[in-house]
């Protein structure tokens, strides 16, 4: 947390933004989503050095109606722009029942569930999605036209832990491939294809121009549904907001150039908040959610499995463990952060 803060302060972020951005990354590491925590710090720094991240953005509402707004993030950190947008969505939900905000000219927004959880304590359902660097091939295509385009939905409960879904619309996330690369293992069939569009089990394929596959893996197993989902996220995040969509989405890595013919501004996100009592009395809703959660959690497991999980359970278990035992950081990331500390002249992690 402290190390994160030193980095964001060094970039020129103000204290509030620094605290917020560091909180997003720290929560990610705590919950076991290592790919979206401190491991991303040097990536953010390089984008800042390349002039693609503005540490002191003037975030503006460019259009609004009673239940909607469109926001220009002024090239700020998505980690800061998105909570700002979520606050507007929740304010609108207070008066209009729901609030929906499309965001353009932003950057990587961290874990999607950070933003949706903000809605829970106000008895609202939170939604968030973002487009991302093009690494995913639509069904039947050999080209990388979509990002891993995650969706999160957080739903309040009463006495049970809430339902918090947060998932990429691909079969496997990039982080899982990186683990296989490090271990020198093959990838399961259905995760990736090579640059010609043939099925592949080589986890290095992605660096050679290959692509991740939409959720479902192949047509026979419904990959056209994953492609639909990824497309919907891209359109809500980027076409509705006026950001760069599809293959024009700006890459997260600074060594890849931005498109020379951008179709919008920066990366796009879309967030929403629905006040539960805009539909039903909150207590009725939360009582039934508790019942739903208990019924699913108590379901009889299939052979070989211990228990049935509720969306959000794996992250809650990781958080419990890491609060007690600390967050393990792998050597490659530690070295990378050591170099970063030297480069920025700050105290190492």
Q: Which of residues 213-232 bind its own copies (CB under 8 A)?
A: 215-217, 220-222, 224-229, 231-232
Phi and psi based region of residue 103 (left: phi greater than 0; alpha: psi -120 to 50; beta: remaining): beta
Cβ distance to its own copies smaller for residue 45 or 193: 193
| Structure-token pair, residue 342 | 């030297």
The reply to whether 133 sits near its own copies by the rule CB under 8 A is: no
| Structure-token pair, residue 192 | 């990736």
Minimum distance of its own copies from residue 130's CB (angstroms):
16
Cβ distance to its own copies smaller for residue 259 or 336: 259
Cβ distance to its own copies smaller for residue 232 or 334: 232
**Contact residue for its own copies among 60, 207, 307, 342 (CB under 8 A):** 307
**Contact residue for its own copies among 23, 175, 188, 349 (CB under 8 A):** 188
Q: Which of 30, 315, 281 is nearest to 162 (CA)?
A: 315
Q: Contacts with its own copies: how many residues (CB under 8 A)?
A: 89
Instruction: Choose one: 9-17, 112-120, 128-136, 239-247; the region binding its own copies (CB under 8 A).
Output: 239-247
Q: Is the distance from CB of 258 to CB of 50 less than 8 angstroms?
A: no
Instruction: Choose one: 27-35, 108-116, 253-261, 279-287; the region binding its own copies (CB under 8 A).
Output: 279-287
Residue 145 CA from chain centroid, whole number? 18
Q: Is the distance from CB of 292 to CB of 258 less than 8 angstroms?
A: no
Q: Is the distance from CB of 249 to CB of 235 less than 8 angstroms?
A: no
The interface with its own copies within residues 99-128 (CB under 8 A) comprises 100, 102, 125
**What's the rounded Cα separation, in Å, for the pair 73 and 342?**
30
Minimum distance of its own copies from residue 218's CB (angstroms):
10
**Contact residue for its own copies among 51, 301, 326, 345 (CB under 8 A):** 301
Q: Count the residues in the chain.
A: 349
Instruction: Choose one: 9-17, 77-85, 297-305, 318-326; the region binding its own copies (CB under 8 A).
Output: 297-305
Rounded to the nearest 10 degrees, the angle between the axes of helix 41-49 and helix 2-11 is 10
Q: Is the distance from CB of 7 to CB of 37 less than 8 angstroms?
A: no
∠ CA 194-199-202 to the nearest 5 degrees? 60
Cβ distance to its own copies smaller for residue 25 or 153: 153
Minimum distance of its own copies from residue 66's CB (angstroms):
5
Q: Which of 89, 87, 61, 58 is nearest to 75 (CA)?
A: 58
The reply to whether 38 sits near its own copies by the rule CB under 8 A is: no
């Amino acid at each position: 947390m402290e190390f994160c803060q030193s980095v964001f302060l060094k970039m020129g972020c103000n204290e509030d933004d620094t605290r917020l951005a560091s909180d997003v990354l720290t929560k990610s590491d705590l919950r076991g989503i290592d790919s979206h925590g401190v491991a991303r710090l040097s990536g953010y720094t390089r984008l800042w050095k390349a002039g693609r991240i503005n540490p002191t953005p003037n975030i503006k509402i460019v259009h609004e109606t009673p239940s909607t707004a469109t926001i220009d993030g002024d090239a700020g950190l998505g980690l800061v722009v998105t909570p700002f947008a979520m606050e507007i969505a929740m304010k609108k939900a207070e008066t209009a029942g729901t609030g929906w905000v499309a965001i353009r000219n932003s950057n990587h927004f961290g874990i999607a569930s950070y933003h949706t959880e903000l809605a829970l304590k106000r008895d609202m359902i939170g939604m968030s999605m973002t487009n991302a660097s093009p690494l995913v091939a639509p069904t039947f295509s050999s080209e990388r036209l979509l990002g891993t385009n995650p969706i999160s939905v957080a739903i309040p409960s009463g006495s049970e832990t809430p339902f918090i879904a947060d998932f990429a619309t691909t079969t496997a996330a990039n982080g899982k491939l990186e683990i296989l690369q490090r271990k020198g293992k093959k990838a399961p069939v259905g995760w990736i294809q090579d640059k010609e569009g043939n099925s592949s089990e080589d986890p290095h394929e992605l660096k050679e121009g290959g692509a991740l596959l939409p959720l479902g893996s192949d047509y026979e197993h419904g990959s056209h549904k994953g492609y639909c989902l990824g497309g919907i996220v891209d359109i809500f995040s980027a076409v509705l907001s006026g950001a760069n969509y599809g293959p024009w989405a700006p890459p997260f890595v600074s060594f890849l150039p931005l498109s020379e013919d951008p179709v919008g501004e920066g990366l796009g996100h879309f967030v929403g908040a629905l006040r539960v009592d805009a539909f039903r009395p909150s207590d009725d809703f939360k009582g039934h959610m508790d019942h739903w959660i208990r019924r699913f959690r108590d379901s009889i497991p299939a052979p070989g499995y211990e228990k049935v999980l509720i969306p959000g359970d794996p992250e809650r278990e990781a958080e419990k463990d890491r609060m007690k035992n600390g967050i393990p950081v792998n050597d490659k990331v530690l070295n990378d952060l050591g170099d970063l500390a030297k480069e920025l002249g700050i105290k190492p992690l």
